[in-house]
A and B are shown apart, each in its own frame.
Chain A
C-alpha cells in the first residue's frame, strides 16, 4: 500500500510539472502585457514604462528561461509579481481562503447529499421519489451556473431578506411545503397503499401544524431549538441509528448504548453552557473528539461481547448527531443578534464576508453562512446532480451482483444487505468521480465568484487573462491544479482502502 501511494505521488508530481509547462506556455502568450504602455504617447515616458515592465517580467528572456525563473521562484515560495508590480503572493493570500471555502463547502455538501439521495433513489427504484430525483438531477445538470447564480442573488437573497422583516408564512406556502414533505415521507416508507397514505396524512398534518406554530410565534425572526426539541430529536436519532445498525429492538444493548450517548450529549450541553457561549474552532473540534471517544467507550462497555460493533457505531453516530444539534441550536440562537448587526438583511449578495466584521464565534459563523449560502448553492447544483446520478447507477449495478444475492441467501435482513454489502461496493467507483469533479467545481467557482462579485481567485484569474499577465494565472493554476492532484491522490488512496484488490496489487 505504501509503495502504491509513493508511486502515485511521484507520477502525480511529474504530471503536475508537465501541466505547469503547458499552462505557462499559454499564459505568456494569452495577451500582451505591454499593451497599456504602448498606448502612452511615444516618447521617453513610454519607453521607460515599457522598459520597466520588460525588466519586471523578464520579457527580454526566452520563454523557457522565464519558466525556470518562475519555477525557481515557486520552489522558494515566491510567486513573482504582476505586470503592475504587485506581489502575487499577497494577491493569492487574500483570495485563496474565500475560494477554497466555497469550493470545499460545495464539494463536501454535494458528496454527502448527492450520495445519500442517490442511494435512497436506487433503493426505491421506479418510485415517485426516484423519478423526481432523476428528473431533478437532469435539470440541475443542465443549468448554467451563472444563470442560477443571478436568479438566486436577485430573488432568493432579496426576497428572503424582505420576508425576514415580517417572517410569517402564508397558508398556501405552508400547505405546499407540507405537501412536498409528506410526499417525500410517503415515498420513503415500504408497504402497501394504506401504510403510505397514513404516512402521507401524518406527515402532512404534522408539517402544517409545525409550520403554522413556527410562523405564528415569530420563530423565523428569532430561531432556536431549545433543550426540549434537542432532547426529543437526539432520542429519535438514537432510535434511528440503532435501527440502521442493528434493527429496531427497544431492549437491545445497542439501543441502550445509543440512548446513553444521546442523554449524555444533552446533559453535556447544559453543563457546558458557559464554554459554548463564545468558543473557538479548536474548542469545537476538541469537543467533537471527546464526544466520539466517550461514545466509543459507551458502545464498547454497554454493547458487551455480543453487540460491540453495532453498539459502538450507533453510539458514536448518535453522539455526533446530538453534538451537531447543539451546534446548530447555538448558531440559530445567535441569528436574531446577527440579523440586527446586519440591519435586518442577513443574506448577503456581494462579497465573501462582511469587511471588518467583529462578533462572537457564532455570529462570525452566521456571517460566513450568510455570504456563502447562495454561491455554494449555485455551485453545488451541478456536482450534486452528478453525484446523485452516478451513485444511483452504481448502487443499482451493485444490487444486481451475485454477492448481494449471496448475502440475502444467508438470511441477512435487507438493511444489513444494503449497509454491509451494497453500499461499500457501490461507493468504490464514486471515489474516482470526486477527483474528476473538483476541476469542474474549480471552474464553476470562477463563474460563481463573478456573479456574486467576490474579489477572490476568480477575479485574479480573469484579470490575469485580460492583462496577459502570467503571474496570477499561474498562481490560480497552482491552487486549482494542486487541488485536482491532491483530490486524485485522496481518491486513489480511498479506492485502495475500500478495495483490497487494488490495495494488494
Chain B
C-alpha cells in the first residue's frame, strides 16, 4: 500500500476526492482528533424493502452502526448496496410504499416509533441532509434566500428578517461572496459548486447534530470537489455536528472519515476505524476495492486488479455470503450456505462479515488475492 505524502497536510480538513492520488494511511483526522464516545445516532437492524412488480426488493438487510458526536462516519459501497436507501430511511424520505423495520435511535428516541409531526421537527433541524446533485436539488423558481430562510422558518418562530439574516450568515460561512446580494439570486445563476455550498448552508442553518451527506461531490468537477469537502469539514466544526458521509470514493473516505462502514448487497460487511479498514481489511470485498484503485507509486507494469462479476440481485438474494461468487477465498462449504454476520476480528473496534477473515489477517497484502485471481483467469 502507498504511504506517500499526505496532501491534506494533517490540517484535518479537505480531501482531493481524486482517487488517482491513491489511498492514504498517513496522518488523517482520525489520528488528530479521536472520536469521543458519546453516541448521538444509533441504527439497529435496519431493513428496507420495496414491493415491486417483479418481487420484493430487499434494499437494506439489517444494518447496525452508531454515530458519535462530532465524528465523521464514512459509508462506502457500490450503487445498489443500500447506502443511500439506509440514509433516506433515517431522514424518513423514502417513498410511501417502502417497508422500513428496525430501530433508528436519535438521542435515545426511536425515530421509527415517532409520529410524523414529531419526526418532521427533527428533519432539517437536528438531522440534515446534503444531496448528490446540486443542479436539481434547489427549487428553480424560488430565490436562494427564500429557500434558506424557509429552512429556518419551518422550525423556528422568528420574523422573516431574522431568518434572512441567518441565511446571509450561512452563505458567508460557506464562502459565497456578496452573500446579501446573492440571497436574491435564483439557483440558475449559480455554478454547480456554488449550489452545493448553498445546500451545505441549508443543511447547517439550524445547527444540526448530524449531517448526512449523500455523495455530495460526485456531480462536481475534481477541483471543486476538494473545496466542497474542505468547506464541509470546516462548517462541521463550526456547528459541531457529526457527518455521515456516503460515497463510493475511497479517497474521500480516507481523507476525511474517522470510521468507515462498508456495505455490500444491502448488508454491512465491515466496520471499523478508517486506518484499520484501509490497512488491514478483514473482508475480501474491501480488500478487492482497495486493490482496484490506481495508485501513483505503483510500478508501470502493475495492472489494476478489478473485482470480477456483479453484485447479486436484491429480489432473490441467494443463500450464503452474497460476495461468494466474486470472492477469491470463498470455499464450497460455509460461504455458499451461511450468510456471515458481522463479527469482531483481531483488530480493535472492528467487525467484518467473513467466514475466512483469518486468511486475510495472515496475508501481507490482502489485495494480492485478487491479483492471483485475475492472473489465474488469464
Listed in ascending order, the chain A residues whose CB lies under 8 Å from chain B are 305-306, 308-309, 401-403, 405-413, 416, 420-421, 424-425, 428, 498-501, 504
Contact = CB atoms under 8 A, between A and B. Distances in A.
B329 interface: no
Given A405-B131, A406-B199, 8 more contacts: A402-B133, A409-B131, A410-B123, A410-B150, A410-B154, A411-B124, A425-B141, A499-B140
Interface string B107-128: 0000000000000111111001
Contacts of A498: 141
Interface in B108-165: 120-125, 128-129, 131, 133, 136-142, 150-151, 154-155, 157-161
Interface of B: 91, 93, 120-125, 128-129, 131, 133, 136-142, 150-151, 154-155, 157-161, 186, 188-189, 199, 202
B140 A425 contact: yes
Contacts of A500: 140-141, 186, 188
A402 B141 contact: no
A410 B131 contact: no
B141 A424 contact: yes
Given A405-B93, A411-B154, A413-B120, A425 B139 contact: yes
A402 B136 contact: yes
Given A406-B137, A425-B140, A305 B129 contact: no
Contacts of A401: 136
A420 B137 contact: no
A428 B139 CA distance: 13
A105 B102 CA distance: 55
A406 B186 contact: no
B154 A413 contact: yes
A410 B124 contact: yes
Contacts, number: 82
A306 B152 CA distance: 13
B252 to A, nearest CB: 21
Interface centre among A406, A412, A499 (most CB of B within 10 A): A406
Given A305-B159, A306-B159, A309-B160, A409 B91 contact: yes
Nearest to A416: B154
Nearest to A424: B141
Given A306-B159, A309-B160, A409 B141 contact: no
A305 B153 CA distance: 12
B139 A407 contact: yes
Given A412-B150, A425-B141, A501-B188, A403 B123 contact: no
A402 B138 CA distance: 8
Nearest to A500: B186
B138 A406 contact: yes
6 contacts: A305-B161, A405-B137, A406-B138, A407-B139, A425-B139, A425-B140
B123 A411 contact: yes
B150 A420 contact: yes
A421 B120 CA distance: 17
Nearest to B120: A411
B123 A402 contact: no
Nearest to A309: B160
A428 B91 CA distance: 29
Contact of A409 (B121, B124, B133): B124
A305 B161 CA distance: 9
A425 B136 CA distance: 13
Nearest to B161: A305
B138 A409 contact: no
A501 B186 contact: yes
Nearest to B91: A409
Given A306-B157, A309-B160, A416-B154, A409 B140 contact: no
B260 to A, nearest CB: 24
Contacts of A413: 120, 154
A403 B155 contact: no
Contact of B155 (A305, A411, A504): A411
A499 B155 contact: no
Contact of B137 (A309, A403, A412): A403
A119 to B, nearest CB: 17
Contacts of B137: 402-403, 405-406
Given A411-B121, A412-B150, A406 B188 contact: no
Contacts of B161: 305
Nearest to A499: B141
Contacts of A403: 136-140
Contacts of B141: 424-425, 428, 498-500
A421 B186 CA distance: 14
Given A309-B160, A420-B150, A408 B140 contact: no
A501 B202 CA distance: 22
B131 A406 contact: yes
Nearest to B188: A501
A305 B164 CA distance: 13
A408 B93 contact: yes
Contacts of B128: 409
A501 B124 CA distance: 27
Contacts of A428: 141
Contacts of A402: 131, 133, 136-137
Contacts of B121: 411
Contacts of B125: 411
Contacts of B150: 407, 410, 412, 420
Give 8 closest A-B pairs by Cβ, nearest first. A411-B124, A411-B123, A410-B124, A402-B136, A403-B139, A500-B186, A305-B159, A410-B151
Contacts of A412: 120, 124, 150, 154
A305 B140 CA distance: 27
Given A405-B93, A411-B121, A501 B159 contact: no
Contacts of B157: 306
A309 B189 CA distance: 26
Contacts of A416: 154
A402 B84 CA distance: 14
A495 to B, nearest CB: 11
A416 B146 CA distance: 13
Contacts of B154: 410-413, 416
